[in-house]
Amino acid sequence: MSLNPVKTFLKPMVDILQRSLNRLSRHATTVVSGLGRTVGIVCLGVLVPNLTGLLGTITSDTALYWLGYEYCIGISFVVWQGNRLIWLQERKLRRRFPSPILKPILLVLANLLFTLPITVLLCLGWFAVAEWQVRWDVVKDVVFCNMIASCFLTFFYEAVVLSRKRERDLVHIEQLERATIQAELEALKLQLDPHFIFNSLNTLSHLIETHPAEALEFNDNLAEVYRYMLAHRSKTLVPLGDELALLQSYYTLLRLRFRGTVQLVVQSTVQSDDYAIMPVALQLLLENAVKHNEFDEYKPLMVEVFIDNDFVSMRNARRPKRTMKASIRSFSGAGLNNLDERSKLITKQRIAIVETKEQFFVRIPIVYQPKNR
């Protein structure tokens, strides 16, 4: 009994559960972060007046004592949240203008233009509320403590972000390695596919007897296809020009085998050597088009490839074969799914598949990697 219907039924439920768990995890992280920030603000608001003597000699049996701690926690809140906001804006600025000296410059400016003046003003406010004479030595100590805390907060947030980024990178590398291994297996399946080998040898044998020159051309292109797969199957990206060369070699095998009933047209608006693409991607799409569609000398299969600045698109007429083996269907689906997974990990974009009654269209992202000229 096939498990495909069960998988089809369970997949939406699994996706919903996974999204719910992700939202719950993000919500829990937000709650924990907010709680930690609150505890830090309170601790800083209690610690600074005790280290600097900001509250003087008042005792706990007076209302001013408790008001003083509330005021100091308020100072801590303003300094903490202000520096956190500056740090968030600083990260956005650094994404747009990456520079190693930008971070220390912004840190110094944050202390000089925010922490220092706001601490002085709030300390003067406290002396006004308490109706005490301003003690500048105390104000200087409070400013020093808050500036140290400001630097610590910045480095703490940076450490947290770098730790999370490292975790995401490790997960991304693991996923990419898994997808690459799967792609290698798919390429190995093609290399050892008995149908492909049998048909290729059969065609070669026939051409040797009838068209020796074409037999030599077929043999050379078959060797190029295998050489390319052996050299590039473990890579994440290859030059687009190399991939187009593989596509032409594979198409030559199809042209000689099917005697012109498969036609390939490639149109490009870019310099192919300036772009990279996932290896064996275009060959897989051409192979699927031939496997899944009917064609003959009266109705040849036209496959069109369009290349622009961001994508390679392949389009072919859709004439599904009446008898299609389930194994071929599953192999094709696995190949396209793996291609989509690799694309998400490598290019941060998914492949696009549009299927109508008349046409089958696939669009694959490419990466701009200009060569030094």
Tens-digit pLDDT profile for residues 289-308: 998 899 988 899 999 999 98
In this structure, of 14-18, 138-142, 148-152, 244-248, the range with the lowest mean pLDDT score is 14-18
What fold, for 193-368?
Heat Shock Protein 90 (3.30.565)
Distance from chain centroid for Cα 177: 14
Distance CA 239, CA 371 (A): 10
Given this model, what pLDDT does residue 1 score? 42
CB half-sphere exposure, 254, CA atoms < 13 A: 23
Evaluate if residue 327 carries a pLDDT over 60. Answer: no
Write phi, then psi, for 255 (nearest 5 degrees): -65, -45
Tell me the sheet residues that pair with 355: 360
What residues does each domain of the chain span? 4-172, 193-368
Average per-residue pLDDT for the chain = 79
Q: What is the pTM of this model?
A: 0.53
pLDDT digits (tens, 9 = 90+) for 162-187: 677 777 777 777 766 666 666 555 55
